[in-house]
Amino acid sequence: MNEEVKQRNRIAKRASVDIYLSGGNGRMYWPHRLQPVHDSTPSVRRKSCKYIIDSGFKSESDADSDKSDSESEGLANRQLDDFGPEADREDVSTEEAKETLHDEEVNQALIDRAHERQPDYIIPNDSIHLSNSLDPADPGHREAIENTAEIVDHFLDLIDEHRFPATVIIPLQPPHDLHYAYLHEHYPEQANRGHFALGGMKDFPPDDQLDCVRAFRRIAGYDAYVHGFGMGASREVILALRDEPELLDSVDFSTVQQHANNAKFAGPSRKPVHVGRSMGAESATTTGSMLAAELTDICRMLSPSLTSEDDIEPSWDKLPFKGPEEDNSPTEDRTPNDDQSGLTTFNTT
């Protein structure tokens, strides 16, 4: 193991959570990597220590794009009491048949890639409701939760976990506490597994993302392994994870990949600044170095043993934009022994 790899491993371990780089570029080493199943490459697997294969996702905008007004109206009129395995089902349509075929293709790809790449974790397919609302009564959330639970249940039936090379992480949709309560009631074998990935928060503001994570921890506790999906490497999220390392065990960022691909770098401000790079052949090597530099900086920000509060304060006067007025006062008790809300809060029948 060369000195560069040793140093990256050492700094990554000092961070309060494991930082997974989401995306490609097999020319640089980072200890934690995540790739969608259809983008998984041997070079990225070789340039990592821990590796997650994700199924990708299918949003309801893909699945429901051809739904008639009457179908949408029927879904909106469903009551919370209809939420569960006894709920009425629409007849299987052509679109639903296509979805089933898509799910089967993804499942087979996940199984094949798991045996080829030998990942540490694998995340089955899920269904996403694209909404910034966290209202439990939103029928789109109920639909995504129910569909995801069924898809995951089918995937688990396909594999022999005694021989399967990876630990399965159960994907959850917002509101994640409702999803967990639903699993606890209807799919206890999923709720009891102890590894979860909180998804569907890509377009949420950082404060809402963190509220989702805290709400899930209050109901599920702090013993479960919890991964944060695509939360973005915002300053708000990084500072929260620095102060509350019990919130998540790991998180994946594709933001860093986007910055490097566009010749940008974001320091403590987490606001990207264009630094430029020469174009032409072998630019992926330069991009890889930029990726590693920004990831290392994030890990240092996430390690109070490596950086002080002053060390991670942005030099706003040297940046081409003004800094926000920050209020660092805690908004709630941050101890991991908060009273858990329990499973009786939600009607999941």
DSSP labels, 238-252: HHHHHH-TTS-SEEE
The answer to whether position 244 is within a domain reads yes
Confidence class of residue 321 from pLDDT cuts 50, 70 and 90?
confident
The answer to whether position 263 is within a domain reads yes
The answer to whether position 331 is within a domain reads no
The answer to whether position 160 is within a domain reads yes
The whole-number average pLDDT for the span 35-52 is 97
Q: pTM of the entire structure?
A: 0.81
Please write the tens of the pLDDT for every residue from 96-120: 544 655 678 999 999 999 999 999 9
Contact 35, 54 (CB under 8 A): yes
Contact 177, 219 (CB under 8 A): yes
The answer to whether position 195 is within a domain reads yes
Please write the tens of the pLDDT for every residue from 74-91: 322 323 333 444 444 344
Q: How many domains does the chain have?
A: 1
Mean pLDDT, the chain, rounded, equals 84
Reduce the DSSP state of residue 69 to 3 states and report it.
Answer: helix
Q: What is the CATH number of the domain that holds 160?
A: 3.20.20.105
The answer to whether position 141 is within a domain reads yes
Q: Is the pLDDT of residue 349 over 70?
A: no
The answer to whether position 295 is within a domain reads yes
User: What phi, psi does 167 have (nearest 5°)?
Assistant: -80, 130
Cis check: omega of the bond before 175, within 30 degrees of 0: yes
* Domain span including residue 44: 3-67+93-318
The answer to whether position 170 is within a domain reads yes
